[in-house]
Amino acid sequence: MTGTPPPGPPRVQTRITVPDSKIMVNLLGAGDEILRLVERSVNSDVHVRGNEITITGAPADNALAERLFSELLELIEKGETLTTDAVRRTVGMLEQGGTERPAEVLTLNILSRRGRTIRPKTLGQKRYVDAIDGHTIVFGIGPAGTGKTYLAMAKAVQSLQAKQINRIILTRPAVEAGERLGFLPGTLNEKIDPYLRPLYDALHDMLDPETIPKLMAAGTIEVAPLAYMRGRAQPYDARVLTPEGFKRFGSLQVGDLVIGSNGMPTPVIGIYPQGPKQVYRVTTQDGASTLCCGEHLWTVATPEDKRRGRRRTLETQEMIGQERRGHLRRYELPVVAPVQLEPQDVPLDPYVLGLLLGDGSISCRATPGFTTADPELARAIEDNLVDIELHRKSGYDYVLRHTKGHRGGVIVANPVTVALRELGLAGTKSGTKFVPSVYLQNSVDVRLAVLQGLLDTDGGPVVQAGRTCRVQYSTTSPQLRDDVVHLVQSLGGVATWRIRVAEGRKPGLANGRPVGYRSDAYVVEIRLPEGVAPFRLSRKRQRYEEYGGGRPMRFIDSIVPAGVQETMCIQVAAEDSLYVTDDFLVTHNTLNDAFIILDEAQNTTPEQMKMFLTRLGFGSKIVVTGDVTQVDLPGGTTSGLRVVRDILAGVEDVHFAQLSSADVVRHRLVGEIVDAYARWDAENQQAQGVHAVAGRSAQGNRGGRRR
């Protein structure tokens, strides 16, 4: 006896009235194709008569159909032309039951260009785009065709246009289906361009094609293999400034302190050996120079940048051959702020030391002497030395007499003589004088005081009509010349020098008699930053302040190849990622204010992934995209994308967006193909598991029989 089936839910009717006939025409579609698609997509019966839609079916089915029509009508009211694709996506989102409304997802515009709008088309894509807005590092993981890279690039271009960042970097690991770039024909660029073509094509969809070469030439957009991202390096033998002075670059370790562009210490937070690389010598107009690789980064300002009040970050190789525009140097580098070094005790007042190096007699065979026509300088020596008075011998000549030189009938050594001997200056002459290292590697106050003493004696302000005042210093000692340049650079200034040859110079006068020059002189031209006073002597200080000291500037003068050397790159914790290298040049090694996209990340190794993520600079955003089912790495190599989720789980401001076949936006068959492969992989894994269990069981049985 067959029982009667239980009664189904009661069927009810729901009516929707569409007041505008134009909206109804759009809602039904050409030849009613959209209406027929809606009828196939819902369980209720749908009938249309005039401007009224009647839905008949179970209450739950009617509710779904009614919500579907409501979302489609809202899309039309927002100016969208309905397509069958939009209907399918709306149905899919409603069936997923998320809180987001399909009409809001499908009208979230990212970019619009020439009538074409880029927007998410699925719920997963909408959440992915929202994650990019809300997090610093986002991983977009999913099958091909889900728009991972395309949407990330659209967000990058949007951020650039909104001036939220000033640089876009697009990169891929150089591994693809077992091919090697070295086997491809042509130059390096010709090898790389086809591999990166999908990124170029996406750029052309989002920007005017004529602007892309300009943006790439300016360094605003960089497209390069991942290997180039880690190549920003300097040789091991380069020098880097630390709070204790300059050290060999290759001796640095994580945690060491180096000096940043603000003159303050900043820790090294990453060290990455780079192996042998072609290096270049970068030289500035003041003679300073350092070595770095072609991908090393420099923060520079061109004349156009300065007019707009901005700076840009360029690779060394981008500037080769572009150093000048006509007779003007193109790239200005930032100048370090006065460097804060560790203070040290010194045996002699630094200002007095500067005065003695300028106009003092430090032979130490007799009482130290000093020659000056400025009584103010003589008083300064007495004021800054304890138990020392200046005794005038004649005219402008003084001796530094020790007031307690015969204490208790015992001859006591002159403390100035003792200090000069301790510093290794005893017996030096005008051509061999130098600034002791304890003064060069000291606090700002000590270094400035030494420089002021030197400039108050052998230096002075130079005024030219219509220009700010510069400072000029002269010495016959090549070592003292270099020490003065060091002091100026360490205080945030710029110094250049030239030789004034002795031969052929008009003799000077001494007591009315001509006296010829016996040694070449070095003339140092100095610019110091605002707030760093070069003089204490009143007449020189007033002259300098009257005309102003101008602004110290450093320009790249030349970039030339310097061979192949072992190299290394570092990452520092400074907010601007800048650090100080040879001759107080300011350079840097990470990417600030940039939107960085790593595509095809399943083909990175864990080491490459770590290197890439640690390149993140301040004000930057990283999006990593990939499909863990399409790894093309050599056998036995683990994909960095497979393990990074476990490594970074729980790290704040890092988000993993998982896309699926439901988010495929290519031909609908692509989604079905992805699902078919996923089912096949799952069945194979299950079958392999069964075979493995059976094999272990059989082996156990054989072992039992043997026993």
List pLDDT tens digits, range 241-265.
999 899 999 999 999 999 998 999 9
Lowest mean pLDDT among 21-25, 145-149, 497-501: 21-25
Q: Are 263 and 338 in contact (CB under 8 A)?
A: yes
**Which band of pLDDT confidence, cut at 50, 70 and 90, is reported for residue 178?**
very low
The tens digit of pLDDT for each residue in 5-38 reads: 566 667 888 888 887 778 888 788 888 888 888 8
Q: What 3-state class would DSSP assign to 475?
A: strand
- pLDDT of 170 > 80? The answer is yes
Pairwise CA distance, residues 640 & 607, whole Å: 7
Pairwise CA distance, residues 308 & 319, whole Å: 20
Q: Which two tokens stand for residue 684?
A: 């194979």
The tens digit of pLDDT for each residue in 397-413 reads: 888 888 876 655 556 78
Q: Are 640 and 607 in contact (CB under 8 A)?
A: yes
Say what the pLDDT of residue 396 is.
84
- pLDDT of 534 > 60? The answer is yes
- pLDDT of 233 > 80? The answer is yes
Nearest to 416 by CA among 356, 341, 327: 356
Task: Please state the rounded mean pLDDT for residues 369-380.
Answer: 89
Instruction: Give exposure, 336-368, as e/b (b: 16+ Cβ within 10 Å).
Output: bbbbbbeeeebebbbbbbbbbbbbbbbebeebb
Nearest to 603 by CA among 637, 636, 645, 648: 637
Cα dihedral 433, 435, 436, 440 in deg (nearest 10) = -160
Task: Please state the rounded mean pLDDT for residues 466-477.
Answer: 88
**Which band of pLDDT confidence, cut at 50, 70 and 90, is reported for residue 335?**
very high
Query: Which amino acid is located at 620 in the chain?
Result: S
Task: Please state the rounded mean pLDDT for residues 196-218.
Answer: 79
Q: Are 195 and 172 in contact (CB under 8 A)?
A: yes
The full length of the chain comes to 707
Q: Which two tokens stand for residue 348?
A: 């002699």
**Which band of pLDDT confidence, cut at 50, 70 and 90, is reported for residue 694?**
low
Say what the pLDDT of residue 67 is.
86
Question: What DSSP line would sit under 633-688, residue for residue?
Answer: SPTTPPPHHHHHHHHHTT-TTEEEEEP-GGG--S-HHHHHHHHHHHHHHHHHHHHH
Structural domains in the chain plus CATH codes: 7-107 (3.30.1370.10), 109-232+590-666 (3.40.50.300), 237-278+285-333+571-588 (no CATH), 350-552 (3.10.28.10)
- pLDDT of 183 > 60? The answer is no
Say what the pLDDT of residue 414 is.
84
- pLDDT of 657 > 90? The answer is yes
- pLDDT of 707 > 50? The answer is no
Query: Which amino acid is located at 666 in the chain?
Result: R
Share of the chain above pLDDT 90, in %: 33
The tens digit of pLDDT for each residue in 48-86 reads: 888 888 888 888 888 888 888 888 888 888 777 788 878
Nearest to 369 by CA among 348, 384, 388: 388
The tens digit of pLDDT for each residue in 607-643 reads: 888 878 877 766 789 999 999 888 888 777 889 899 9
Lowest mean pLDDT among 61-65, 327-331, 403-407, 418-422: 403-407
**Which band of pLDDT confidence, cut at 50, 70 and 90, is reported for residue 1?**
very low
Say what the pLDDT of residue 473 is.
95
Higher pLDDT, 264 or 185: 264
Say what the pLDDT of residue 654 is.
94
Say what the pLDDT of residue 549 is.
82
Pairwise CA distance, residues 240 & 255, whole Å: 14
Say what the pLDDT of residue 176 is.
47
Say what the pLDDT of residue 658 is.
92
Say what the pLDDT of residue 188 is.
45
**Which band of pLDDT confidence, cut at 50, 70 and 90, is reported for residue 661?**
confident
- The residue whose two tokens read 């108050």 is 456
Rounded mean pLDDT of the chain? Answer: 83
Instruction: Give exposure, 644-675, as e/b (b: 16+ Cβ within 10 Å).
Output: beeeeeeeeebbbbebbbbbbbeeeebbebbe
Say what the pLDDT of residue 207 is.
85
Pairwise CA distance, residues 288 & 321, whole Å: 19
Pairwise CA distance, residues 633 & 174, whole Å: 10
**Which band of pLDDT confidence, cut at 50, 70 and 90, is reported for residue 697?**
low
The tens digit of pLDDT for each residue in 308-317 reads: 777 777 788 8
Task: Please state the rounded mean pLDDT for residues 211-230.
Answer: 73
Q: How far is CA 338 from the centre of its chain?
A: 22
Pairwise CA distance, residues 157 & 110, whole Å: 9
Say what the pLDDT of residue 235 is.
94
The tens digit of pLDDT for each residue in 425-444 reads: 988 888 899 999 999 999 99
**Which band of pLDDT confidence, cut at 50, 70 and 90, is reported for residue 656?**
very high
Alpha-helical (H) ranges within 288-412 are: 303-308, 316-319, 350-359, 375-384
Residues 6+ apart with CB under 8 A from 376: 537, 538
Report the alpha-carbon angle 488-491-493, nearest 5: 55
Say what the pLDDT of residue 336 is.
93
Kindly tell me the number of DSSP H helices and DSSP E strands found in the chain.
Answer: 23, 35
Task: Please state the rounded mean pLDDT for residues 114-140.
Answer: 87
Query: Which amino acid is located at 491 in the chain?
Result: L
Q: Please list the residues that pair with 94 across neighbouring strands.
A: none
Task: Decide: pTM greater than 0.75.
Answer: no
- pLDDT of 185 > 60? The answer is no
Q: Which two tokens stand for residue 669?
A: 């068959």
The tens digit of pLDDT for each residue in 280-289 reads: 999 999 999 9
The tens digit of pLDDT for each residue in 78-116 reads: 777 788 878 887 888 887 776 778 777 777 778 777 667
**Which band of pLDDT confidence, cut at 50, 70 and 90, is reported for residue 675?**
low
Q: Are 552 and 335 in contact (CB under 8 A)?
A: yes
**Which band of pLDDT confidence, cut at 50, 70 and 90, is reported for residue 678?**
low
